[in-house]
Amino acid sequence: MIVSSDDVRAAAQRLDGRVRKTPVLRADGELWFKLEQTQHAGSFKTRGMFNQILAAGPLPEAGIVAASGGNAGLAAAWAARELGIPAEVFVPVTAPAVKVAKLGRLGARVVQAGTEYAEAYHAARLSADASGALFCHAYDNPHMVAGNGTLALELQDQLPAGFDTVLVAVGGGGLIAGVIAALPPAVRVVAVEPITAAALHEALRAGAPVDVPVSGVAADSLGARRAGQLAFDLARAARTPAILVDDKAIVDARRRLWDDYRLAVEHGTAAAYAALTSGAYLPAAGERVVVLLCGANTNPADLT
């Protein structure tokens, strides 16, 4: 199915009072940051995960199961705690320690399985099948996508004069799918991916989602081996450009967000800004650009 703007508006009603309306910061000239890293549990995924759980109706006693590089799991754990239900979260053994520790503090049962998201996903599906828990997909679920898209509705309210372009970091594609669904076609939505984890870029080139190798500094949050079908369908229909940035550009952009704006974000989040700082995306004169800063579950020790 293709997620529509009506689905996003329905998600906004469902989430009313349950998620934060995150601020927008004007940076320089015609550049704004949407500070979604200030969302509950530290990323945009709280919107989509909460909507996915609420839309499922009555929940099983076993609660929910999710697989994640970290952020979707944190979102699932946070939502489960708010709803008073059990949560089991599968993460790869390579998940950052800061995310694993936070999962525990949120009350989730944490299981480490495999070295990348795809392996954790397989283990999580087996667990959900065995226990009867609701399996919550990290990105390729229509309610997850619609919930994520609610941040774009906020953005329209926060910038009533309008904007031309939104730069979005992409892993599995659950965020960019929601943004495309929420915004009118006149707004250009640009996918930004690491060269070493380019699932949507390769899907658009191949004409269908395909498996890609995953590595690099942003792999914990953008390390989906295959783009979601929903993201692919929406991006192809919208003729979404997908541009690539390397690890050096990502590290530099993350540092610059801290040095210039005192914004501490994870490497995957910084990829969106790296499109600008590296010159991979060059705005036209007067182009009003928004960079979505989507997550902050990082160890800030290397920013000082």
Instruction: Give the pLDDT confidence of 76-109 residue by residue, as tens digits.
Output: 999 999 999 999 999 888 887 878 888 889 989 9
Q: How far apart (Å, rounded) are the C-alpha atoms in residues 146 and 171?
A: 17
Q: What is the pLDDT of residues 158-168, one digit of tens each?
A: 999 999 999 99
Q: With bands split at pLDDT 50, 70 and 90, how would you rate the model's confidence at 68? A: confident
Domains of the chain from N-terminus onward: 5-44+145-299 (3.40.50.1100), 47-136 (3.40.50.1100)
- pLDDT at position 304: 64
Pick from 24-33, 52-61, 110-119: least confident: 110-119
Q: What is the pTM of this model?
A: 0.93
pLDDT digits (tens, 9 = 90+) for 172-231: 999 999 999 999 999 999 999 999 999 999 999 999 999 999 999 998 889 889 999 999
Tokens matching residue 192: 């930004």
Kindly state the tokens that stand for 93.
């053994």
Q: What is the pLDDT of residues 219-275, one digit of tens each?
A: 888 988 999 999 999 999 999 999 999 999 999 999 999 999 999 999 999 999 999
